[in-house]
Structure 1
Amino acid sequence: MNIALRFINRSNDCGNSEVVLFQRNVVPEFDELAIAWRVIRYCGRDCIHPFAYSSDVEVALGDDHGNFSPRISAASGSRLVVAAHPGGRPRLAGSLESTLHSDIEVVNQLGRGAVNVNAYVAGHLMAAKSAVAPGQKAVFRFTPVLWIGVGSQIEEGRALASAVISSANTPFELGGIASADIVMTGGGGGERAQPFLFELENVLRL
């Protein structure tokens, strides 16, 4: 299900800062850094940037050469396996097994060779686990909570610096929401500069 969102800049920043949306790690043993899911740039004052968040997740394998397998849907609580393709390349396949919780698990059942596992939400990379060795698994747990913050030199689909993650302290719980506006205020320079603030407005619930 898609949630229609609109970012609205009502700050004094005039579109000079980069606004990043991401999800925090909710799996304790998941030691990868958070990924910049969406980066909003050059959005001037009173301007709008529409986008969508989805509860649907897709998973794909990747390697260090920039190659990716086809994406396949991964329902909450499902377990996927990495097996050898007849052509020799690893491939993702569904499993009849399901987890006892809402996690999405991707198990490497190859005889040899590590893989990178990527999870996508609304077509954009949300989380990744690199170098998953045979017998190991990547675990993703997605809740409808987005975090938002302001930074610089942020690349969409890349790991966020710890400073950006620690400074982004505004979570938005999107469960049960059909659409909403994310409004940014504050900013500016000099003595009148204010912290950036983010609030949900015009919330339409299911």
Structure 2
Amino acid sequence: MDIKLRFINRSLDGNRSEVVIYQKNQAPNMASLAMAWKVIRFCGRDCFHPFAYPVGFEVCVVDGYGNFSPRVRAENGQLLKLQSTPSGSRRLVRSGAASASNEVDVLNDLDQGAMNVCVFKDGRMVGAKNAVVPGQKAVFQYPPVLWIGVASQIAQGDAISSAVMSSADTELSLLGVASADIVMSGGGPGEGSTPYEFNLDSIVRI
């Protein structure tokens, strides 16, 4: 079930801020990229921007030539394998259970060739693990938690740099939430400006 969200701008800086929303892969010992899952621009004061957070994922792989496989839907607890077909193409297939019920595992089951594994939510990339070699697994663990903040010069789909991650660091848990508003406050011009704040409001529980 999708979680219905609304970003509402109640800050004092008009519509000049760019807001980035992303997730972090919580799988232990799995270094992977966090991507700018959603970037909200030009949302004026007291205006809102609706969007949905899906519980499930879509997964695909990318080879060294920039070719993307078809996306496969996945849920927590599933293992996907990248295999060759008789025609020579490569595809992801569901193949049993993951190592843990709160993660998605993707195994490179090819004889040769490293692959990048990409994870999508609502059609937008949320994370990636590069250079997964044959016999190796990419493990993704995304609890219902968003990180949000104000950033500049970042586009949807960009990798989140350490600088952006250190500034866009408000954590919002969506555990048990059916719908909610994400309210941005603070900001403003001159010496009287205050730090931006992001809070959940109008929460409807499952």
TM-score (norm 2): 0.95
1:149-181 per-residue CA deviation (whole Å, 9 max, x = no partner) reads 110011111201111101122111111111110
1:95-174 alignment, distance < 5 Å: 95-174=95-174
Q: 2:58 is aligned with what amino acid?
A: E
Unpaired runs of 5+ residues, structure 2, are: none
Q: 1:135 is aligned with what amino acid?
A: G
- Distance in 2 (CA, whole Å) between partners of 1:162 and 1:96 is 35
- Distance in 1 (CA, whole Å) between partners of 2:7 and 2:73 is 27
Secondary structure in structure 1 of the residue aligned to 2:33: coil
Q: 1:33 is aligned with what amino acid?
A: L
Corresponding residue number in structure 1 for 2:74 = 74
Deviation at 1:120, TM superposition (A): 1.0
Corresponding residue number in structure 1 for 2:16 = 16
1:163-201 per-residue CA deviation (whole Å, 9 max, x = no partner) reads 110112211111111111000011112101110001111
Secondary structure in structure 2 of the residue aligned to 1:147: strand
RMSD over aligned Cα, in angstroms? 1.3
Corresponding residue number in structure 2 for 1:196 = 196
1:79-112 per-residue CA deviation (whole Å, 9 max, x = no partner) reads 1101112222221111034424422110001010
- Distance in 1 (CA, whole Å) between partners of 2:32 and 2:50 is 28
Secondary structure in structure 2 of the residue aligned to 1:164: helix
Structure 1 vs Structure 2: percent identity of aligned residues?
Answer: 52
Measured at CA, do residues 112 and 64 of structure 1 come closer, stay the same or move farther in structure 2, by a change above 3 Å?
closer
Deviation at 1:121, TM superposition (A): 1.3
Runs of 4 or more off by more than 6 Å in structure 1? none
Corresponding residue number in structure 2 for 1:59 = 59
Q: Given the alignment of the two structures, is residue 48 of structure 1 paired with residue 48 of structure 2, yes or no?
A: yes
- Distance in 2 (CA, whole Å) between partners of 1:97 and 1:49 is 37
- Distance in 1 (CA, whole Å) between partners of 2:168 and 2:104 is 26
Secondary structure in structure 1 of the residue aligned to 2:4: strand
Deviation at 1:124, TM superposition (A): 1.3
- Distance in 1 (CA, whole Å) between partners of 2:49 and 2:131 is 35
Deviation at 1:64, TM superposition (A): 4.1
Secondary structure in structure 2 of the residue aligned to 1:192: coil
> Larger deviation: 67-76 or 46-55?
67-76
Q: 2:82 is aligned with what amino acid?
A: V
User: Do the aligned partners of 2:33 and 2:129 also contact (CA within 8 Å) in 1?
Assistant: no
- Distance in 1 (CA, whole Å) between partners of 2:66 and 2:15 is 32
Deviation at 1:59, TM superposition (A): 0.7
- Distance in 1 (CA, whole Å) between partners of 2:9 and 2:66 is 35
Deviation at 1:28, TM superposition (A): 3.0
- Give the aligned length: 206
> Larger deviation: 60-69 or 168-177?
60-69
